[in-house]
């Protein structure tokens, strides 16, 4: 500016502010239209998705299906695919899928309802333009996670293995050479089947009992994605998608052991001691910490039932008998605890027993939900077999009980408990998914 020949005159640029006859500024009339401050208009609030990743239980196949695209060897109903890429309901017709496996391969079958079936035989196979489906999966829970493997399949029977998710060239080409794919076009749908050898994936169900997984399809007539789990971006972003579980292998692997503080399992009869009326006096702790759950008074003992929850064992807790079990303290200091339980309570309990307790602890003075651990059935909720879980940060873990908070309060459970898993630390999302996958596989939950 010091070198400029003449300073620029800015006084005539722009419009002068409006004023009345006396020179006072004139402001716009008040309006009912909504206004926003600049910070409100341009700020983007961070959205944290705390929804658990969904689980898809693969079926153990007694015999390998014929890969012909016909779907004649699969059950009548499969997993519903209804979400859009951003997890909202899709504008396209729903699809459904099936996943099975044997010792050698993963099998995927899908059915896609469409409104443009007549044009599909002459359609192309350009990804993102033509009708086509995508499979993405990753052995992500290993000490050294594998690459995200990505397959595209089209109604005309063409398929491709791609590096969209960053898989190395060798892995992409190995998968392309090993996969078998067939498709068929019907009146209002197209179907397809895949055989994906484990040898080409770099893992087996035993080495990877669970993996990140997603399936999606583009319905070109609606220009809409129909996927199992919307990620907010590409379907291959499997960390934001779901978990495929190989049930037998997941049950055998069990939950993570690091930080396992309590593990009560009704499936092992060697861990349960009962009297002649099947009332439980001792439920041994599998965590090797010796925190056995006990009840000396027969009146307050829960009842062992061999086929109570999905045909599997459980302990029945009865609010009228005030049944409960007691455990040793988890710690003399405050801890962070992560808790899981497999429960079922199809019938409502008494209203005074709202928020019935499953696993609880406190400092012996305050309420568990304020100062301690309170894994509960929310409110007066009822339901069939399911997993309940909760995390508690900086809480007391003394006066531990199963089935109620305190004998002096109305918090008794009327229902079944099959398994309780408690950690004395915070779990990562992957660890949480491992526990959920193990429990769901073991107890026949979806």
DSSP 378-416: -TT--EEEEEEEEEEEEE--EEEEES-S-TTSS----EE
The Cα angle at residue 230 between residues 53 and 208, in degrees rounded to 5: 45
Domain ranges of the chain: 55-250, 260-443
Confidence of residue 7 (pLDDT cuts 50, 70, 90): low
- Asked if the domains at 55-250 and 260-443 fall in one CATH topology, the answer is no
Residue 396 in tokens: 């007391």
Per cent of the chain over pLDDT 90 is: 84
Q: Which residue has the higher pLDDT, 1 or 198?
A: 198
C-beta of residue 51 within 8 angstroms of C-beta of residue 229: no
Q: Residue 38's pLDDT is what? A: 45
Q: Flag whether pLDDT at 91 surpasses 80.
A: yes
pLDDT, residue 51, reads 81
Asked if residue 83 lies in contact with residue 90, where contact means CB atoms within 8 angstroms, the answer is yes
| CATH number for the domain whose boundaries are 260-443 | 2.60.120.200
pLDDT of residue 154 exceeding 50, the answer is yes
H/E element, 213: strand 210-219
Share of the chain above pLDDT 70, in %: 89
22-56 pLDDT, tens per residue?
566 766 666 565 554 444 444 444 444 568 999 99
Is the pLDDT at 16 greater than 60? The verdict is no
pLDDT tier at 415 (50, 70, 90 boundaries)?
A: very high
Helix (H) or strand (E) holding 305: strand 303-309
pTM metric for this prediction: 0.86
Write the CATH number of the domain with boundaries 55-250: 2.60.40.1190
């Amino acid at each position: 500016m010091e070198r400029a020949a003449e300073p620029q005159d800015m006084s005539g640029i722009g419009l002068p502010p409006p004023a009345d006859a006396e020179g006072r500024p004139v402001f716009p009339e008040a309006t009912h239209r909504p206004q926003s401050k600049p910070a409100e208009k341009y700020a983007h609030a961070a959205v944290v998705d705390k929804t658990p990743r969904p689980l898809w239980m693969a079926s153990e196949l007694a015999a390998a299906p014929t890969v012909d695209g016909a779907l004649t060897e699969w059950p009548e109903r499969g997993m519903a695919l209804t979400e859009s890429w951003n997890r909202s309901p899709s504008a396209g017709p729903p699809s459904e899928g099936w996943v099975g496996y044997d010792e050698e391969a993963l099998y995927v079958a899908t059915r896609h309802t469409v409104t443009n079936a007549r044009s599909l035989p002459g359609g192309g196979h350009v990804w993102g333009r033509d009708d086509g489906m995508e499979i993405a999966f990753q052995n992500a829970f290993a000490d050294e996670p594998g690459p995200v493997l990505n397959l595209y399949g089209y109604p005309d029977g063409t398929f491709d293995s791609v590096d969209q998710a960053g898989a190395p060239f060798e892995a992409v080409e190995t998968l392309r050479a090993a996969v078998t794919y067939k498709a068929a076009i019907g009146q209002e749908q197209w179907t397809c089947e895949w055989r994906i050898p484990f040898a080409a994936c770099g893992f087996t169900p035993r080495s990877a009992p669970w993996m990140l997984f997603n399936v999606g399809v583009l319905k070109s007539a609606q220009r809409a994605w129909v996927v199992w789990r919307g990620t907010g971006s590409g379907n291959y972003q499997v960390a934001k998608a779901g978990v495929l579980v190989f049930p037998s292998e997941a049950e055998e692997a069990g939950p993570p052991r690091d930080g396992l503080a309590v593990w009560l399992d009704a499936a092992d009869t060697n861990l349960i001691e009962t009297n002649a009326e099947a009332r439980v006096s001792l439920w041994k702790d599998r965590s090797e910490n010796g925190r056995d759950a006990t009840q000396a008074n027969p009146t307050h003992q829960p009842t062992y039932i061999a086929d109570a929850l999905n045909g599997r064992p459980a302990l029945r807790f009865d609010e009228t008998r005030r049944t409960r079990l007691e455990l040793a303290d988890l710690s003399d200091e405050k801890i962070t605890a992560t808790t899981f339980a497999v429960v079922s309570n199809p019938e409502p309990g008494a209203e005074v027993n709202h928020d019935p307790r499953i696993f609880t602890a406190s400092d012996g003075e305050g309420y568990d939900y304020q100062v301690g651990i309170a894994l509960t059935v929310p409110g007066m909720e009822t339901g069939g077999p399911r997993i309940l879980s909760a995390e508690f940060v900086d809480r007391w873990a003394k006066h531990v009980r199963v089935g109620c908070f305190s004998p002096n309060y109305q918090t008794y459970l009327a229902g079944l408990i099959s398994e309780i898993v408690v950690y004395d630390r915070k779990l990562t999302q992957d660890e949480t998914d491992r526990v959920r996958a193990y429990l769901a596989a073991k107890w026949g939950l979806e």
